Amino acid sequence: NFVMPTGPNFMIMAVGVTLVLGIVIVWTYALMRPRLGAGPKTAIVAALVLWFGVYLYNAGFFIMIFGSPAKSMAIACVWGLVEYSLAALAGAWLYKEA
């Protein structure tokens, strides 16, 4: 049986990893800007790249290896897509070239 970790240490690590991932999304956006141009379209593309690498990839493994319900994984993937898109749009809005 899989037991979800809880407690302050888990929360601190989860927030830290999420912050780093947000920075990686904005960094990916910055790398894409010269080729795709600045703006929301490029931010969404950056979000999709990270979403695929984190959510979709891991959901497939959780379904295959742990037998996680596909419906739960689909809900998580949709939630993650919305979450990453909003984060990328916010990061792109804040990002300024030097």
Q: What's the Cα-to-Cα distance from 47 to each of 2, 12, 13, 32, 69, rounded to whole Å?
A: 29, 23, 22, 11, 25
pLDDT tens, residue by residue, 62-98: 999 989 999 999 999 999 999 999 999 999 999 988 7
Q: Kindly tell me if the per-residue pLDDT of 54 is higher than 70.
A: yes
Q: Which three-class secondary structure state does DSSP give residue 28?
A: helix
**Residue-level pLDDT at 7:** 86
Residues near 14 by beta carbon (within 8 Å), at least 6 away in sequence: none
The mean pLDDT of 26-49, rounded to a whole number, is 97
CA 44 to CA 33: how far, in whole Å?
Answer: 12
| Mean pLDDT in residue range 32-53 | 96
